[in-house]
């Protein structure tokens, strides 16, 4: 019997990771909402298992289908952020921008949103007014209309103040077929701006950790930036907005779905000093922290330069950068070249460092 080598063990682990996940937990825990591995397992093994159909299977952030000759994109998102109001915006801004962005990153022009509210008995009407005003302003800025909605009220204690769900429809006028499974070795990975602003802002706004800063949420519509990107880089493979789980999660999803390695260069990833500082204090990695107005895109290697230049021409894209490349080996893994010159793995998020951030 041969001695087990390190390589044998690593290969066995990779085989185990490729097996279909199952949900074995008896109860939902906060990990299921973090956007990391537990969330993915829940979606795959529970929701997809039950609902299975070709539109859902790609598990993109939106579904794309044709109706009467038009290609439409359709998405939904629910917002449970706490606190409701924070530097840079509110749950209202997230509810509009988040859904607009899920449409925009498929290459669609966002058109119409629905808005569903679950309100707790006792919730101040003045707060509701503020939220709704924010949604109206965000909708106007994003060029969408909120055309239908619903309101429910539950007894005190049965919902935390205010939850909002928005669903959105957009039309795909460009002949693009963006997908998480089409990255090729040699492609470049781009981020549209500094990462982690939103998640850290929320965490600090909760006040429990006693950390203060001048950070603001980065919530913003990405439609214009996506447009600039697709004009400059028609061979773009994939765009996704970096929400729960952050940039690292998207890269892992990409590596797994495309069967490639994503190799990031730590020094190239834009991070604001305060995000870095707060992350160091708390021992978390900014790459796992949510954004609400940033996307990660994969473009052909030779289109990277023009893509970044185009993004930087926009006020929201000043810090856009190429943060890594796609390689063929080791497939399914995300590697980070550290500033120090070493190499480390960046796995799918486990657990939930920041609950209820969007």
Q: Hey, how many other C-beta atoms are within 10 angstroms of the C-beta on 269? A: 19
Q: Is 339 in the site for other proteins (CB under 8 A)?
A: yes
Pick from 20, 27, 52, 156: which binds other proteins (CB under 8 A)?
A: 27
Q: Is 6 in the site for other proteins (CB under 8 A)?
A: yes
**Largest Cα–Cα distance in the chain?**
73
Q: Give the count of residues interacting with other proteins (CB under 8 A).
A: 48
In the complex, the smallest distance separating the C-beta of residue 334 from other proteins, rounded to whole angstroms, is 10
Pick from 69, 157, 175, 342: which binds other proteins (CB under 8 A)?
A: 342
Q: Hey, how many other C-beta atoms are within 10 angstroms of the C-beta on 69? A: 5
| Beta carbons of 229 and 239 less than 8 angstroms apart | yes
Helix axes 223-232, 91-104, angle to 10 degrees: 20
Q: Is 13 in the site for other proteins (CB under 8 A)?
A: yes
Is the backbone peptide bond immediately before 203 cis, with ω within 30 degrees of 0?
Answer: no
Pick the piece of the chain touching other proteins (CB under 8 A) from 53-61, 110-118, 314-322, 342-350.
342-350
Pick from 30, 136, 137, 154: which binds other proteins (CB under 8 A)?
A: 30
* Between 71 and 272, CB nearer to other proteins: 272
Q: Hey, how many other C-beta atoms are within 10 angstroms of the C-beta on 173? A: 11
Pick from 58, 277, 301, 331: which binds other proteins (CB under 8 A)?
A: 277
* Between 12 and 152, CB nearer to other proteins: 12
Helix (H, G, I), strand (E, B) or coil at 245: coil
| Beta carbons of 317 and 194 less than 8 angstroms apart | no
In the complex, the smallest distance separating the C-beta of residue 347 from other proteins, rounded to whole angstroms, is 5
Which x/- pattern, by CB under 8 A, does the window 35-74 give for other proteins?
--xx------------------------------------
Which two three-digit tokens encode residue 266?
């730590």
User: In terms of Cα–Cα distance, which of 191, 174, 313, 303 is closest to 240?
Assistant: 191
Using CB atoms within 10 A of its CB, is residue 17 exposed (0-12), middle (13-18) or buried (19+)? middle
Binding to other proteins (CB under 8 A): which residues in 173-232?
Answer: 204, 208-214
Q: Is 253 in the site for other proteins (CB under 8 A)?
A: no
Terminus-to-terminus CA distance in the chain, angstroms? 52
* Between 286 and 317, CB nearer to other proteins: 286
Binding site for other proteins (CB under 8 A): 4, 6-7, 9-10, 12-13, 16, 27-31, 37-38, 204, 208-214, 272-274, 276-278, 280-283, 330, 333, 335, 338-345, 347, 350-351, 353
């Amino acid at each position: 019997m041969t001695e087990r080598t390190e390589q044998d063990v690593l290969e066995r682990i990779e085989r185990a990771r490729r097996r279909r996940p199952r949900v074995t937990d008896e109860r939902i825990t906060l990990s299921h909402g973090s956007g990391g591995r537990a969330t993915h397992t829940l979606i795959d093994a529970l929701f997809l298992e039950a609902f299975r159909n070709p539109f859902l299977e790609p598990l993109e952030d939106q579904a794309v289908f044709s109706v009467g000759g038009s290609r439409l994109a359709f998405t939904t998102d629910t917002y449970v952020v706490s606190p409701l109001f924070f530097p840079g915006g509110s749950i209202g801004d997230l509810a509009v921008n988040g859904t607009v962005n899920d449409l925009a990153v498929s290459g669609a022009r966002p058109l119409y949103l629905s808005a569903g509210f679950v309100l707790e008995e006792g919730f101040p009407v003045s707060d509701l007014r503020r939220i709704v005003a924010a949604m109206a302003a965000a909708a106007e800025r994003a060029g969408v209309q909120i055309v239908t909605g619903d309101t429910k009220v539950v007894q005190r204690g049965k919902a935390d103040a205010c939850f909002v769900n928005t669903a959105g429809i957009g039309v795909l006028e460009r002949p693009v077929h963006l997908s998480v499974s089409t990255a090729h070795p040699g492609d470049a990975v781009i981020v549209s701006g500094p990462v982690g602003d939103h998640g850290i802002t929320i965490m600090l706004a909760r006040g429990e950790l006693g950390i203060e800063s001048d950070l603001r949420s980065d919530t913003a519509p990405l439609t214009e930036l996506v447009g600039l990107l697709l004009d400059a880089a028609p061979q773009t493979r994939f765009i996704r907005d970096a929400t729960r789980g952050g940039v690292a999660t998207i890269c892992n999803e990409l590596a797994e779905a495309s069967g490639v390695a994503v190799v990031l260069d730590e020094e190239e990833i834009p991070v604001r000093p305060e995000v870095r500082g707060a992350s160091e204090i708390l021992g978390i990695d900014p790459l796992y922290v949510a954004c609400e107005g940033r996307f990660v895109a994969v473009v052909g290697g030779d289109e990277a330069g023009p893509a970044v230049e185009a993004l930087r021409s926009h006020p929201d894209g000043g810090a856009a950068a190429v943060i890594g490349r796609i390689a063929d080996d080791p497939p399914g893994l995300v590697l980070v070249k550290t500033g120090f010159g070493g190499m480390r793995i960046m796995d799918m998020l486990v657990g939930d460092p920041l609950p209820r951030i969007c």
